Amino acid sequence: MQLQLTSPLDMHLHLRQGEMLKNITPLSSKTFSGALIMPNTVPPITTKEMVKNYRDEIVEAAKDGTFTPYMTLFFSNSYNYEFLQSIKDDILAIKLYPAGITTNSEGGVNSFDIETLKETLEAMSQLQIPLCIHGESDGFVMDREAEFIPIYKQLATAFPKLKIVMEHITTAASAKAVLEHDNLYATITLHHLYITLDDVAGGMLQPHLFCKPIAKRPEDRAALIDLALNANPKVMFGSDSAPHPKSAKEAPGCAAGVFTAPIALQALAQLFEQHGKLENLQAFVSDNAQKIYNITPPKKSILLEKKEFIVPDSYGEIVPFLAGKSLQWSIQ
């Protein structure tokens, strides 16, 4: 049994910097036609020069002409229309982080007052630059995403022409909210389709499953699975693949992030087949994103076959999701 995917896309990817970028970029460029690259580097990507330099670094590391890094800018409410117009052709979206909410987000937004954000968001609306948001409050960890939903709704109402992407949603409440506004969309990760909080901390603590937003309840996972498996046009695949060395994961102050990039398509094929929805995988991993972002990625055909694949214990110094486990699908 085989399955051909055309131009798969990962619409939320962390490639880090330096040697780590050089080592992990080929693991995405091998199987994906393109990816939306997150800007929370050190320092964050905030200028046209930084965007171009980071893109060049990724293209060189990819060594694959059929992989497009779609670049993003780290949000600031100081961006005006003139600046955004000058950088529009170099980016696909702008990523907003609440200050200090996740890895390298200390320079994020402290206030979601509409008047404070108005100039930048109106300019983005006029220039048709989508806004991607890591939507969490600083409240109790299990409630952070739910507490952010009113902000999504407020922004969607105040800026109806602005495309807003709810990044890596993890709750049934978010799965419901994304359907309530025409200009709201969402990415869903592989790991949030597979695990709940019980997998992370129900027995022995599993540091390689710790991420932000943290995995939630079984009913939350079920709501995400329903959206993804039915390839709802409001959602698309975004791995949020976030590599950290083993020494940073198996340590006090465990770094947040799950590394899924090299095994994502195999694991998604297994999940979709188990639910009898294999025919919807193409839309979830490519077609929906092309329509939402109005992009045409490079043509790339990936052939999956029903053949056992043992997930490696590590990729260099990084432990992947499902390390050592057997998957039923391989990439030919």
**In this structure, what token pair is assigned to residue 330?**
């391989």
Among the listed residues 10, 64, 220, 240, the single catalytic one is 240
Give the three-class secondary structure for 288: helix
Neighbouring-strand partners of residue 6 = 301
60, amino acid identity: E
How many residues are given for the chain? Answer: 332
For the four alpha carbons of 315, 10, 62 and 48, in that order, the dihedral sign comes to negative
Contact 96, 131 (CB under 8 A): yes
| Spatial distance between the Cα atoms of 284 and 236, rounded to a whole number of angstroms | 5
| Spatial distance between the Cα atoms of 155 and 149, rounded to a whole number of angstroms | 10
| Spatial distance between the Cα atoms of 188 and 131, rounded to a whole number of angstroms | 16
DSSP character at residue 285:
I
Clarify whether 240 is annotated catalytic.
yes
* CB neighbourhood size of 303 (10 A): 11
Q: What is the DSSP string of 99-165?
A: TTSSTT-TTSBS---HHHHHHHHHHHHHHT--EEE----SS-TTTHHHHHHHHHHHHHHH-TTS-EE
**In this structure, what token pair is assigned to residue 28?**
């995405």
Q: Which conformational region is residue 240 in: left (phi greater than 0), alpha (psi within -120 to 50 degrees), or beta?
A: left
Strand order in the sheet with 301-305: 2-6, 301-305, 330-331
Residue where the block lists tokens 């490079």: 298
> Comparing C-alpha atoms, which of 94, 15, 99 is closest to residue 47?
94
| Spatial distance between the Cα atoms of 27 and 301, rounded to a whole number of angstroms | 16
Which amino acids are annotated catalytic? 240
